[in-house]
Structure formats: C-alpha cells, structure tokens
C-alpha cells in the first residue's frame, strides 16, 4: 500500500542510514528514525500471531 494511515498517499521515500524521509501528496515531509532488525528474530518474536502470518 502507498498509504500510511492518514489517507495521504506516499509519493517518495528516501532511505539514508537509519533515517527514512517520506513525502506525501500534500507536500508534507516526515522523517522517521528506524532501527533495522533481523527478519529471523522478528519471525521468532511473532510466530504466535496467526492474524499477522496469514497475510504472508
């Protein structure tokens, strides 16, 4: 999906180091600081969440 919860469409995403910069269709720029994680660790932490894994 190209939407992130407020109804505005994401037009561009820039990833630089641990910073994600998002530009939406109203011209709003939002920056997020993120911490990368290992997919195997994520799966182990959420293996009991059936509603999440039915998506995959």
As a whole number, mean pLDDT of residues 13-35 equals: 93
Quick one: which H or E segment has residue 32?
strand 29-33
> Is 30 a residue whose pLDDT tops 90?
yes
The pLDDT value recorded for residue 2 is 54
* Token pair listed for 31: 């920056």
The pLDDT value recorded for residue 53 is 56
Report which of residues 26 and 8 the model is more confident about: 26
CA 34 vs CA 7, 20, 27, 38: distances in Å: 22, 7, 22, 13
As a whole number, mean pLDDT of residues 21-46 equals: 87
The pLDDT value recorded for residue 56 is 52
């Amino acid at each position: 999906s190209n939407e992130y919860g407020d109804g505005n469409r994401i037009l561009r995403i820039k990833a630089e180091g641990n910073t994600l910069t998002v530009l939406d269709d109203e011209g709003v720029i939002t920056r997020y600081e993120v911490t990368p994680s290992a997919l195997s660790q994520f799966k182990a932490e959420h293996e009991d969440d059936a509603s999440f894994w039915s998506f995959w």
